[in-house]
Amino acid sequence: MIDKKVKGAETILMKEGNINLDSLYTNMKAWFDDHNYDFNEDIHQTKANQKGKKIKYKWGAKRKVTEYVLYVIDVEFEIKEYPEKELELKISSNLELDYENKWQDTEVKNKVFKIFNTLFKNQEILSYKKKLIAEVNDLIKLAKQELNLET
């Protein structure tokens, strides 16, 4: 049965050495703006110690697709400068169905929600999932270009 959250595309990119973090940050943020996502930077941390510096960003972005479907993309940057830069970039996504929780307040409604999605909305949900995956793959391609990784 189809649950409330449907997993989309995800990846982890790793890079050591020369990283233009300002360009990566700016262009990925612009991608979310260009694709009409509500963008939130949940974490922006910098920790320094004797070895070097550790930077962490965590982003959450959402876009309403319909009254029933919401695209969600999460991005997490972890950069270590000890003394050379190392970056781990995680990108994940999912569809959130019934994001206003109209079908979640009782056990009976929740069961009807799952059955309805599985029997009647399955193809529509798969179509939205494919579109989300294509968008996330475009974001991943941008990140790879910024990091000079193979595309």
**pLDDT tens for each residue of 106-136:** 889 888 888 888 888 899 999 999 999 999 9
Classify residue 128: in a domain, yes or no: yes
Give the model's pLDDT for residue 11: 97
The domain of 19 spans 5-146
pLDDT given at position 151: 59
Asked whether residue 151 is domain-assigned, the answer is no
Task: State the Cα–Cα distance between residues 44 and 19, nearest whole angstrom.
Answer: 18
Asked, for residue 85, whether it belongs to a domain, the answer is yes
| Tokens encoding 86 | 């190392």
pTM value > 0.95 = no
Distances (CA, A) of 3 to 16, 37, 64: 38, 23, 18
| E-state strands within 17-149 | 38-48, 53-64, 69-81, 85-97
Strand partners, 44: 57
Q: What is the mean pLDDT of residues 19-23?
A: 92
Q: Who has greater pLDDT, 52 or 8?
A: 8
Report the number of distinct structural domains present in the chain.
1
Region 3-14: mean pLDDT is 94
